Amino acid sequence: MPEVLIATDLAKRFGDLVAVDGVSFSIGEGETFGLLGPNGAGKTTSISMIVGLLERDGGTVEIDGEQISTRSTRGKASIGLVPQDLAIYPDLTATENLRFFGRLYGLDSNTLDTRVDEVLDVIGLSDRAGDLTKEFSGGMKRRLNIGIGLLHRPRLLILDEPTVGVDPQSRNAILESVESLSGEGMAVLYTTHYMEEAERLCDRVAIIDEGRIKAEGSRRELVSLVGQKDRVSITGDVTDAVGSVSSIPGVSEVSAGDHRLDILINDAGSILPELLARVTSSGGNITGVEIVEPNLEAVFLHLTGKALRD
């Protein structure tokens, strides 16, 4: 998988405050990479340096083989930025907003016409294309904010907390849009402080706090890093199956309660069929099964000693 973004040793200070300290990561083609961390962790500062908005105190950024700085213009054409705050003109229509930014990215008239229609369709605003955006709901503005970032088919799309302040329905629409992007071969850098968004969207996640990356990897890699296991709870007349279940390889702990078995296991998904078969063959009558996988919240807590919070 060719790498689209390579960020190496990014550093930034604001006076005495070290905002970003040696942040390095890379993102491959078609990959969605998450920066997960609380507010003030250094996510937006890192993004600002990657996009060339902010001068770096140290480190390098390479996008599609082009070095990026505040002065570079060529490499920036490969980036689509969706800033955390809305960045649209309220007194222009959705189409006018798209066309203006499309022109700045060098799209010719024919391409622009096609892409504006496509993007409006993707973000679900085709029927409001001619309306001034100041008349839009918050969710519609958010979607247009994303649409502008997508317009020129960037190699790298950077979304900086795109769902902050968005209603659940629009939030889901945004997440679905992002999920579809990696399928188009676009590299996506997604920052969030919502653990569930990182888990749902990202192939790999870097946990960032106090300007430093604490850990990086797939969700399972991160979870295993801190020794967390899946918990499977089976309810019904199942307590007689304790012995049979305990002997399954990978099961580390089994506890029986009132019509309930709680099993700690390394990878519930792969062992679950055998687990259920053992319970059934032991004469058990299963009325319910619940799997609780360890989440990134727990990983973050383990790594930083604090909870993810707004």
Among 39, 67, 69, 70, interactor with other proteins by CB under 8 A: 70
253 lies in the binding site for other proteins (CB under 8 A): no
**Binding residues for other proteins, total number by CB under 8 A:** 31
91: contact with other proteins by CB under 8 A: yes
- Which span sits near other proteins by CB under 8 A: 73-81, 136-144, 164-172, 263-271? 73-81
User: Which of 9, 13, 65, 104 touches other proteins (CB under 8 A)?
Assistant: 104
Minimum separation from the CB atom of position 63 to other proteins (A): 11
113 scored as a contact of other proteins (CB under 8 A): no
Sign of the torsion angle spanned by Cα atoms 146, 170, 133, 49: negative
Does residue 56 belong to the site contacting other proteins (CB under 8 A)? no
The number of CA neighbours under 13 Å toward the Cβ of 174 is 27
Query: DSSP letters along 184-245, please?
Result: TT-EEEEEES-HHHHHHH-SEEEEEETTEEEEEE-HHHHHHHTT--EEEEEEEE-GGGHHHH
Q: How far is the CB of 33 from other proteins (least distance, A)?
A: 18
Site for other proteins contains 63 (CB under 8 A):
no
Which residues lie below 8 Å from residue 61, measured CB to CB, with a gap of 6+? Answer: 5, 6, 7, 8, 10, 49, 50, 52, 67, 68, 69
With CB under 8 A as the contact rule, which of the stretches 99-107, 118-126, 203-211, 271-279 interacts with other proteins? 99-107
Residue 161 is classified by DSSP as S
Choosing from 23, 27, 42, 101, the residue that interacts with other proteins (CB under 8 A) is 101
Beta strands in the chain (DSSP E): 3-14, 17-28, 32-36, 58-63, 66-67, 79-82, 156-160, 187-192, 204-209, 212-217, 230-237, 251-257, 260-265, 285-292
Please report whether residue 92 would count as binding other proteins according to CB under 8 A.
Answer: yes
| Residue from 86, 226, 242, 289 in contact with other proteins (CB under 8 A) | 86
Q: According to the binding rule CB under 8 A, does residue 20 interact with other proteins?
A: no
Taking alpha carbons only, the member of 15, 23, 87, 91 closest to residue 58 is 23
Check residue 169 for interaction with other proteins (CB under 8 A).
Answer: no
Does residue 53 bind other proteins (CB under 8 A)? yes
| Shortest separation between residue 107's beta carbon and other proteins, angstroms | 11
Q: What is the C-alpha separation between 153 and 168, in angstroms, rounded?
A: 27
54 near other proteins (CB under 8 A) = yes
Judged by CB under 8 A, the residue of 52, 59, 139, 284 near other proteins is 52
Instruction: Using alpha carbons, select from 73, 72, 51 the residue that is nearest to residue 5.
Output: 51
20, 158, 177, 10: which is closest to 83 by C-alpha? Answer: 158
Contact 77, 156 (CB under 8 A): no
Question: For other proteins, which is the closer residue by CB, 87 or 301?
Answer: 87
Between residues 11 and 77, which has the closer beta carbon with respect to other proteins? 77
Residues that bind other proteins (CB under 8 A): 51-55, 70-71, 73-77, 79, 81, 83, 85-92, 96, 100-101, 103-106, 148
